[in-house]
Structure 1
Amino acid sequence: MTLTLRNIIPIIKAHCVGQNDVAVIDSISIDSRSLQNGENTLFFAIIGPNNDGHQYIEELITKGVRHFVVTHIPEAVAGHATFLVVENTLEALQKFAAYYRSLFDFPIVGITGSNGKTIIKEWLNFLLSPDYNIIRSPKSYNSQVGVPLSILGINEKHNLGIFEAGISMMHEMEKLQKIIRPTIGILSNIGSAHDEGFPSVAEKIKEKLKLFTSVNVLILNKNKTICAFVNPKIKTFTWSSDDKSADVYITKKNTGEVTELQLTYREDTFVVGIPFQDQASVENAIHCIMVMLYFGYSQKVIQTRIAQLYPVEMRLKVKNGIYNCTLIDDSYSSDFQSLKIALDFLENQKQHKKKTIILSDIFQSGLNNEELYSQVSQLIISNKINRVIGIGETISQFKNKFINGITFKNVTEFSKAFDQLTFENETILIKGARDFHFEEIVSMLEEKTHETVLEINLNAVSHNLNFFKSKLAPKTKLMVMVKAFGYGNGGFEIAKLLEHHKVDYLGVAFADEGIALKTAGIHLPIMVMNPETTSFSAIIQHQLEPEIYSIKGLKAFLKLAEQKKLKNFPIHIKIDTGMHRLGFEEENLPELIAILQNQETVHIKSILSHMATSDDLQHDAFAKSQIALFEQLSSRLLTELQIKPIRHMLNTSGISNYPEAQYDMVRLGIGLYGVSNDAEEQKQLETVGTLKSVISQIRTIDAGESVGYGRRFFAEKTSQIATIPIGYADGIRRSWGNGVGYVVINGKEAKIVGSVCMDMLMADVTGMDCKEGQTVIIFGENPSVNLMAKALNTIPYEILTGISQRVKRVFFRE
């Protein structure tokens, strides 16, 4: 893309304020944190429900960005850049993308539906890329913002586009249709996702079909309910396993691990084998076959290529590596658009100053190799990558474009040289096209642990954060609790994401938790909720901020602070309003005030209290009495000390149940991790942690035989018992065993039988379709931690924080 601001102004109907309207624009950005922003970037200051891009303009100007699309010009930056002023920056971005799309005339495949969009897109890219130069949505960029950014990746060398469109409410699809303008439509599976955003299923179907108002053909499963809403003027190309009047009639049968499809099309019948058995994958593959039939591919080519389909990995995973390295695993795709996304993710999640990228040849760029690798080089420079390891015939030819670069022709050559390469204390992005088998490199670099993992969905963390942010007044600050190893989910990685989202404070229980975060590079202010006097020196050294809750503790801290000649060191004063755990009571206030008056050693950054019953409205009167007492006591401190600190007392449940008591800040805890005690609120949250293991062994036992320690389970009939390598040393309570709890395998529940052992548990898988090595869900969507907690007569906190740190945490972003 190369346009000038003068070209863009009439497209987005902007008023230009500034002198440089002839500036050349070669990239569009909405993310202030991206290191790819530069002097030729046009930054759209998008205003969302919980964020406003205008607040980052001053910071961006210091980084060299000079061109902005805004709804208003912040006073602090007036005269320092060129501003295109519009009524709505998101609509301006969409208008610009729609215009840009109009500059190109080649087939565009548009995909929508409830499920399968990204998989169909990725498979179509694989199936058609030998014959087309394809531009496609990177990752799951299918939203009101993601679609325009995807479209803006098109260049003159592309001759086929594949874009997905996702909506969650009424009146969104029309905007996306104007941007994508597909010529070929695919309606994938219609399920229950986002049902809450539509008055009815019928309205959801009609809304999704708006994507296809001007397509040359619409590909879909022939279904009376859906077809009733399709405009009869639209040409359809249908398939069905029930209706022989469909254009393609399909029957199927399972043979081993392959699903064999028999297709009847134009009075011709042929067979295609799909290397999957689950219904979702079969449907997604059929949509891909339909596209190939529409494009006129031969039966032989369809058969050959469909047989090579593979599971699509849609997630960027963060893993622990050897020698204190952190790995970002993106080892299944290598195209220019997704490289940009991966580099941004690397910056947001880096745990070390040193950054390495292992990169394969890049495909589907639409650029000649010289131009492509020049742009890749610039990306790597702008992202301050310390070392590049290139793998592939093509990237090896451009080794000289990379500072501190080394290249190998293939993974085999890399493997032979592995022992001579040094990997230590660095963050490593591993990004390669599927054909390069970079999973072998991941295996070499990954820290070896046992097969039980706790997968942490960073998208879900972001969703839950934004959900609670939406409940806050615009000026209310947000502290997020990352104590107890991030409620069992991993401290640093969660903290890094929260820093990315620019929360105001982090909260930890003890000093060592805060020290670990500061040492790892977290810059957010961190409050230590339960500091021991012996940790005060370390708190000061690492610039942590202690909660002070007693006269004894205050005097001890002041004595040390005076010895170190500190001035205005931030502290937080805890008031006890009824929790009766920690804090100054009303009778302590005169002495507290006397000590704090007329001293400059410490600065009271905040005054806080803790609610005891915010999650139980049966104690509403007590909760309100706490709020009233906090108002009384904190106001007294404000008046007598003549200070204006931050005041805060609401925890997760308090945010929802007592919004009138938000004060200046709230403290979000377990809600961030997807847990609520309110059933309706729980529906709005997303599951963050999924604990997984595998089946180590399956054995058959006869009726009357027992399983496990103490012979607590006896088989009533011949049974299949699966042994799973996770036990109470990993955090699974013994009381969850012996028929109380269950695990999920292939979507089906398998009762835990016998006693949970230290390192293993056993489940009854009689009659289930499973095998050794198969994934087992211990908790996640089902069973949820809420369900487990209720069955065990405890609380979700105990379930989450009880997961041992020997269980590997794997962080991913969709």
Structure 2
Amino acid sequence: MYHKSYSIDEIAEIVNTKNFIKISDAAITTLAFDSRRLGDIIHTLFFAVKGRRDGHDFVREAYSSGIRNFVVSDERNFAETCPDANFIVVPDTVRALQTLAVYHRSQFNIPVIGITGSNGKTIVKEWLYQLLAPEKNIVRSPKSYNSQIGVPVSVWGMGEEHELALFEAGISRKGEMEALEGIIKPAIGVLTNIGQAHEDGFSSDQEKTVEKLKLFNDSELFIYSPKYLAEYSGSIPGKKTFTWDWNNESADLNIIEDVISADKSHRLVKGAFSGEIIQCLVPFTDAASVENAVCCWATMLALGYSPAVIDSRIGKLHPVGMRLELKTGIHNSSIIDDSYSLDISSLTIALDFLKQQNQHQRRTLILSDIPGAGMNAGALYSQVARLLENKDVNRLIGIGTEISRHADRFTVDSVFFESTSDFLDNLDSVSIADESVLLKGARRFEFEKISKALTEKVHETVLAINLNALENNLNHYKSLLKPGVKITTMVKAFSYGSGSFEIANLLQFNRVDYLAVAFADEGIALRQAGITLPVMVMNPDVAGFDTMIEHDLEPEIYSLRVLNEFVAKLKRKGREEYPIHVKLDTGMHRLGFLEEDVPALLDELTGLTAIRVRSIFSHLTSSEDPAADEFTRQQIGLFKELTSLIESRLGYSVIKHIANTSAISRWPEAQFDMVRLGIGLYGIDSAREAGVSPLETVASLKTSISQIKHLKAGETVGYNRRGVMQRDGKTATVKIGYADGYDRKLGNGAGKMIVNGKVVPTIGNICMDMCMLDITGVDAKEGDEVIVFNDQVTVESIAKEMGTIPYEILTGISQRVKRIYYYE
């Protein structure tokens, strides 16, 4: 695992630009573009990329972390403020990163497989890795690194020890593929499919196809299905081609039969190839997985593998879990399960997520042998040891003979076991408690057994929180803000039912400016979980002022009574200039100072040294409703008038904010100095038109089938015999009821759930812990997953059926429902 090292002078010459070199012997082996995700600091080159954030704003942060080599496009005064660092100055840092990757790629003459398509790129890449790894030492894109930045970072991973490369490329608009083709230079091209993804970036399907195929301009071999190029009128790339299709006699691999097994766990796929009938057993039954497996089958045939070898390997394919999951663990621990693959790249990504967790002071990594170490195992585990130091890991639990053999490489607190069973037999002696634990194991070590042993046993119904979607929604709203506008995110009510520190950690990592909670105890819980962001308490209780002050929580002041009580408490504690947030009532008539109250407020504030007004804010009543726009304008106007008056009397500027989620997009003039992002963070914004929102669904509620019953027409179901079978059919009893937050109003067909892709109605009354579904005509078995809501059966549709709002649905999910957080 020795990465080719470049001197800083070599890199400056490669990107062909001026530079300020102060450490001429600096050696670069690692690339970075995010100051929050830094690995081998001594040998890292940091690229200040301009995107949603400007990487130049974080150069000094990276410098303070120990980085001494930078590529920037904005010189600023870095040479003076970072005196012992190297700076390479370029017109465009992304282009410089790509240029460096092109040069690095040119140093190797190994076969490279380039993969693109609308869907399935990452699955096909990971399955080809599983299928080809027995013969080859393979470098591949980590996770789904397929963007303008992800591809060069992936290609940078190529080393002398590799015999094959698998890189995926994704584009979302015209003109992006040329750069990726120049970096990957695939000898073998694989097109997974052409579908609906990223349609907005192209004028037509024809243009999208043309752009994607540019990846294969110079490929020796191009593997594809003709059905996806049926409407394409251009030339087919590749000096040679290999095609696959269903019921297409002209295809090199013609699928003629596709039959699901009796136990519904596999599909037997037969095809015609070179005049023979061949077959493989695909260990999946859904259409997308079968097609991805056939694409891999065709690729291996095109590479010269025998049908028998391919059949034996495809039958052993395992699902690609592209996400790491954060779960509640035993003894007040947090378990991060990321065992789907193990190499240095994916380990680095997972360690970044571990470092992001602040709810425990202690961080533990449980790590198995890393496959493919070969002759350079010593160098590999030395690199891992440096990673653990840089990522603030406190303890390593190593599992496997190889990592145990290199125990002396690790300086952190370490213990080693020969096997997974050896570790589980000695689990009590390891003492997992009050810590964040990352599980990172190669497939053969069966770390799912460790995950099961360490995860708290709770209710089977699960609320799955997609942290990528939450991050996407946050970044979307950030993109709507004017320069310099701050953002407060609402995490009250258990983050709208989604969690507390789990959500707050991500928000802190993404550098929001404030968190807001309803009550002091919510803020205290965040502080105890290691959250250091400023926290505003929207409804402070006078009785809780002591603990608020103790935990540096900042109260909303909405009346003279609350102000006087808080000031008195501060004076008794000898505190000065404590931050407060003044709430104005511009029309909500809930909490806050009315216009006529402001003179008295100013009289009280004048001369006070115990407090300092950090912000003044108000709340819009109807920012999402066009019918109320005139009232919204009046609120904004009054807010401007009152804040101007208050600031003039205070003699200093304060943060002003009135815009809630809907106002961020509908009322840009109301952004002022800060906005408050609430339910939009979770993918719901009532100001958006249905079906056209760029927001992603964050929460999915899932349960499972306990029992299936076959009933006759006229038979009744549930309490009071309210459910009546209209025809012969079957019902499924599922593990969710009103005690879990599934309201009784959703009984008797009002509620809908998804069973194996089919939307089905409830039947009968909702019970406390379960309810029944009419699954007549649906292929299902006991134990199957049932989706209560997601992006198909939405929270909004459930709220509409109940005559309420999405807030009530999300916040009503019981705490006994298990929360799982995943990050891809």
TM normalised by structure 1 equals 0.98
Alignment correspondent of 1:675: 684
Structure 1 residue 234 displacement after superposition: 4.3
Alignment correspondent of 2:250: 245
Alignment correspondent of 2:386: 378
Say whether 1:738 aligns with 2:748: yes
Query: Retained in 2: the 8 A contact 1:336–1:365?
Result: no
1:777 aligned residue (787, 808, 812): 787
Alignment correspondent of 2:74: 72
Alignment of 1:94-105 (within 5 A): 94-105=98-109
CA distance in 1, matches of 2:142, 2:641: 54
Alignment correspondent of 1:265: 273
> What does the per-residue CA deviation read over 1:560-584, in whole Å, with 9 as the maximum and x for residues that have no partner?
1111111110000011100111111
Query: Retained in 2: the 8 A contact 1:132–1:159?
Result: yes
2:491 aligned residue (457, 482, 493): 482
Structure 1 residue 662 displacement after superposition: 0.8
Alignment correspondent of 1:356: 364
2:718 aligned residue (708, 724, 727): 708
Alignment correspondent of 1:115: 119
1:13 aligned residue (11, 16, 20): 16
CA distance 1:359–1:520, change in 2 (3 Å)? same
Query: Retained in 1: the 8 A contact 2:704–2:734?
Result: yes
> What does the per-residue CA deviation read over 1:370-393, in whole Å, with 9 as the maximum and x for residues that have no partner?
111111111112222121111112
CA distance in 2, matches of 1:602, 1:313: 51
CA distance in 2, matches of 1:366, 1:347: 29
What amino acid sits opposite 2:647 in the alignment? L
Alignment correspondent of 1:34: 37
Q: Secondary structure at 2:575's aligned position in 1?
A: coil
What amino acid sits opposite 1:28 in the alignment? L
Q: Secondary structure at 2:41's aligned position in 1?
A: coil
Query: Retained in 1: the 8 A contact 2:463–2:701?
Result: yes
Alignment of 1:459-608 (within 5 A): 459-608=468-617
Q: Secondary structure at 1:729's aligned position in 2?
A: helix
CA distance in 1, matches of 2:269, 2:105: 37
CA distance in 2, matches of 1:658, 1:339: 43
Say whether 1:754 aligns with 2:760: no
CA distance 1:232–1:603, change in 2 (3 Å)? closer
Query: Retained in 1: the 8 A contact 2:266–2:285?
Result: yes
Say whether 1:628 aligns with 2:637: yes
CA distance in 2, matches of 1:540, 1:345: 31
Query: Retained in 1: the 8 A contact 2:60–2:82?
Result: no
Structure 1 residue 226 displacement after superposition: 5.2
Structure 1 residue 718 displacement after superposition: 1.7
Structure 1 residue 337 displacement after superposition: 1.0
CA distance 1:172–1:365, change in 2 (3 Å)? farther
Say whether 1:129 aligns with 2:128: no
Structure 1 residue 14 displacement after superposition: 2.5
Alignment correspondent of 2:198: 194
Structure 1 residue 366 displacement after superposition: 7.0
CA distance in 1, matches of 2:532, 2:526: 9
Say whether 1:158 aligns with 2:130: no
CA distance in 2, matches of 1:541, 1:798: 32
Structure 1 residue 749 displacement after superposition: 0.5
Alignment correspondent of 2:376: 368
What amino acid sits opposite 1:8 in the alignment? I
CA distance in 1, matches of 2:772, 2:173: 44
**CA RMSD across the alignment:** 1.4
Q: Secondary structure at 1:272's aligned position in 2?
A: strand
Q: Secondary structure at 2:586's aligned position in 1?
A: coil
- Percent identity over the alignment is 49
Structure 1 residue 20 displacement after superposition: 2.0
Alignment correspondent of 1:89: 93
> What does the per-residue CA deviation read over 1:435-454, in whole Å, with 9 as the maximum and x for residues that have no partner?
11100000000000121111
Structure 1 residue 706 displacement after superposition: 0.8
Alignment correspondent of 1:813: 823
Q: Secondary structure at 2:311's aligned position in 1?
A: helix
Query: Retained in 2: the 8 A contact 1:106–1:159?
Result: yes
Query: Retained in 2: the 8 A contact 1:452–1:726?
Result: yes
What amino acid sits opposite 1:479 in the alignment? T
CA distance in 2, matches of 1:232, 1:397: 49
Q: Secondary structure at 1:368's aligned position in 2?
A: helix
Structure 1 residue 36 displacement after superposition: 1.7
CA distance 1:639–1:350, change in 2 (3 Å)? closer
CA distance 1:692–1:377, change in 2 (3 Å)? same
Query: Retained in 2: the 8 A contact 1:5–1:25?
Result: yes
Structure 1 residue 255 displacement after superposition: 2.2
Query: Retained in 1: the 8 A contact 2:706–2:783?
Result: yes
Structure 1 residue 166 displacement after superposition: 1.2
CA distance in 2, matches of 1:621, 1:265: 70
> What does the per-residue CA deviation read over 1:115-147, in whole Å, with 9 as the maximum and x for residues that have no partner?
111111111111110100000111111111111
CA distance in 1, matches of 2:422, 2:354: 26
CA distance in 2, matches of 1:67, 1:788: 53
Say whether 1:141 aligns with 2:151: no
CA distance 1:681–1:535, change in 2 (3 Å)? farther
CA distance 1:747–1:101, change in 2 (3 Å)? same
Alignment correspondent of 2:805: 795
Q: Which moved more, 1:623-632 or 1:256-265?
A: 256-265
CA distance in 1, matches of 2:239, 2:747: 57
CA distance in 2, matches of 1:616, 1:426: 46
Query: Retained in 1: the 8 A contact 2:219–2:237?
Result: no
Alignment correspondent of 1:324: 332
Alignment correspondent of 1:60: 62
CA distance in 1, matches of 2:721, 2:239: 66
Alignment correspondent of 1:686: 696
CA distance in 2, matches of 1:61, 1:387: 27
Query: Retained in 1: the 8 A contact 2:753–2:788?
Result: yes
Q: Secondary structure at 1:237's aligned position in 2?
A: strand
Say whether 1:697 aligns with 2:707: yes
What amino acid sits opposite 2:536 in the alignment? M
Query: Retained in 2: the 8 A contact 1:174–1:211?
Result: yes
> What does the per-residue CA deviation read over 1:505-536, in whole Å, with 9 as the maximum and x for residues that have no partner?
11111111111001100010000111111111
Alignment correspondent of 2:182: 178
CA distance in 1, matches of 2:608, 2:210: 68
Query: Retained in 2: the 8 A contact 1:238–1:246?
Result: yes
Structure 1 residue 420 displacement after superposition: 2.1
CA distance in 1, matches of 2:180, 2:553: 47
Query: Retained in 2: the 8 A contact 1:18–1:79?
Result: no
What amino acid sits opposite 1:736 in the alignment? L
What amino acid sits opposite 1:514 in the alignment? G
Query: Retained in 1: the 8 A contact 2:248–2:255?
Result: no
What amino acid sits opposite 2:202 in the alignment? F
> What does the per-residue CA deviation read over 1:575-631, in whole Å, with 9 as the maximum and x for residues that have no partner?
110011111111111111111111211010000010001010110000000000000
> What does the per-residue CA deviation read over 1:330-379, in whole Å, with 9 as the maximum and x for residues that have no partner?
11211111111111111113421111111111124576111111111111
Query: Retained in 1: the 8 A contact 2:740–2:813?
Result: yes
What amino acid sits opposite 1:43 in the alignment? F
CA distance 1:721–1:680, change in 2 (3 Å)? closer
CA distance in 1, matches of 2:538, 2:691: 27
Say whether 1:312 aligns with 2:320: yes
Q: Secondary structure at 1:120's aligned position in 2?
A: helix
Say whether 1:456 aligns with 2:465: yes
Structure 1 residue 73 displacement after superposition: 2.6
What amino acid sits opposite 1:544 in the alignment? L
CA distance in 2, matches of 1:233, 1:482: 53
CA distance in 1, matches of 2:589, 2:691: 28
Structure 1 residue 273 displacement after superposition: 0.9
Q: Secondary structure at 2:247's aligned position in 1?
A: coil
Structure 1 residue 34 displacement after superposition: 2.4
